[in-house]
A and B are shown apart, each in its own frame.
Chain A
Amino acid sequence: MNKKSTKSGLFSTLIGKKMLMGITGLFLITFLMVHCGINMLIFANDGGVLFNKGAEFMGTNPLIRIMEIVLFLGIIAHIVDALVLTLANKKSRSVKYAHEKPNANSKWYSRWMGLLGTLILMFLIMHLNHFWIVTRFTDHIAHSELDKLPGQETMFEEMKEIFENPLIVLLYVASMVSLAYHLLHGFQSAFQTMGWNHPKYTPAIKKTGFWFSVIISVLFAIMPIAMHLGIIK
């Protein structure tokens, strides 16, 4: 070879940076699974007893507390990397086509990942404000019905209260639509990014990705709806 590579290090090139996108994306997917699993405890419909236990475990277990920090770092890395790559990509074609037929060769949600991600980010800010801030930075939330002090609420009661507002329910449901489309592209895309493309397994990965995106988003979306309608008491 007559030229030594000019840059070195895994993340020095766009492919390397994209790998970080894939890793953090897959990590966020595992987080979604855990989060959805715990939240499903509301469907026990026991007045939130089981759910509050789950919420207490997530709020106090030291391993989970460490993972919470890793999660924040993961989301930040995902977002910063998304920004860096999107800006680099925007620079690669300064004169646009006068006439384009992008739907002839790709899916709209594959092309609008940045927008879908931004909608998810806006949701995350609202969502953290609803639940995470009150647990971490106020003493408004009691671990369970039993050790509730005057003026305190359990996580379950907090949820019921917030989802009384139909506008908030609507925003949550709409955000889950963004999540569904982000994952519809993202799930299989992350495997491709990581280089895991194989004629034997890729069709199964794509199918899993499709159903995962649909199911996880629908599950998340029916939680605020069910709470709002009083189906969950």
Chain B
Amino acid sequence: MKFNLKIWRQKNAQVAGKMVDYVIDNINADMSFLEMMDVLNEELIRKGDEPVAFDHDCREGICGMCSMHINGRPHGPLRGTTTCQLYMRNFTDGETIYIEPFRADAFPIIRDLAVDRSAFDRIMQVGGFISVNTGQVQDANNIPVNKADADLAMDAASCIGCGACVAACKNASASLFVSAKISQYALLPQGRIEAKERVLAMVNQMDDEGFGSCTNTGACEAECPKGISLTNIARMNREYYSASIS
């Protein structure tokens, strides 16, 4: 397969970037999108050009590292997939493909398509954990958990912190990510103990990082590779209101 690629090239956060055109040929339909990028980079290196920097790690949809805004959507045209799970057969031969970094001021560009998502880490650092004293390993079933709540907490915990929700949102809001992280603890008895401090700290940090606010457009939920639900944002709001008035 042959593709016309329009790729964002930017040396670092200090200098301005621009879209650059590339043509790539002889691409196997069963290559993943990242493999296509690897082939492009091989060619660029052979020609003595700078390869395109992009993030990736597990290449099996679980780490959340691969990013890229492909043809106008985070992680490309398919629902419920990361870029590493996207295959070239999902495109048509000869198609023009726009490849851009996830854009948000809270995610500064490191180089080309690689962005710095450590804002998420800092949000986690202020509350995305439970405080326990280490010691003997406890019996897993010591604290009974309602099955329905356990399932919801598990769903929330499936967020891989990829940032597609931020990339898709017209306000670059991190509400879906933060609400998933707040929910995964808020739903469980172990997490209730620090629930109030957690939601206040994480919501404040989210603002401090420069993410926008939620306008309930639902773009995040539609683009989330893990199907994180908007109900988590409603839960975060409830938790925040009750924590801030009590």
Contact = CB atoms under 8 A, between A and B. Distances in A.
B219 A5 contact: no
A113 to B, nearest CB: 7
Given A93-B103, A104-B73, A105-B218, A195 B238 contact: yes
B189 interface: no
Interface residues of B, number: 58
A15 B235 CA distance: 12
Contact of A101 (B71, B126, B207): B71
B222 A104 contact: yes
A194 B103 contact: no
A19 B127 CA distance: 22
A33 B205 CA distance: 39
Interface string A79-116: 00000010011011111111111101111001101000
Interface residues of A, number: 50
A95 B208 CA distance: 19
B236 interface: yes
A33 to B, nearest CB: 22
A15 B214 contact: yes
A10 interface: yes
A192 interface: yes
A115 to B, nearest CB: 13
B40 interface: no
20 contacts: A1-B126, A2-B125, A5-B197, A9-B244, A14-B207, A14-B212, A15-B213, A89-B213, A89-B215, A91-B210, A92-B105, A97-B69, A99-B71, A99-B98, A101-B73, A105-B168, A110-B218, A189-B215, A195-B234, A199-B231
Interface of B: 6, 8, 19, 69, 71-73, 77, 98, 100, 103-106, 125-127, 131, 168, 170-173, 194, 197-198, 200-201, 203-208, 210-219, 222-223, 230-231, 233-238, 240-241, 244-245
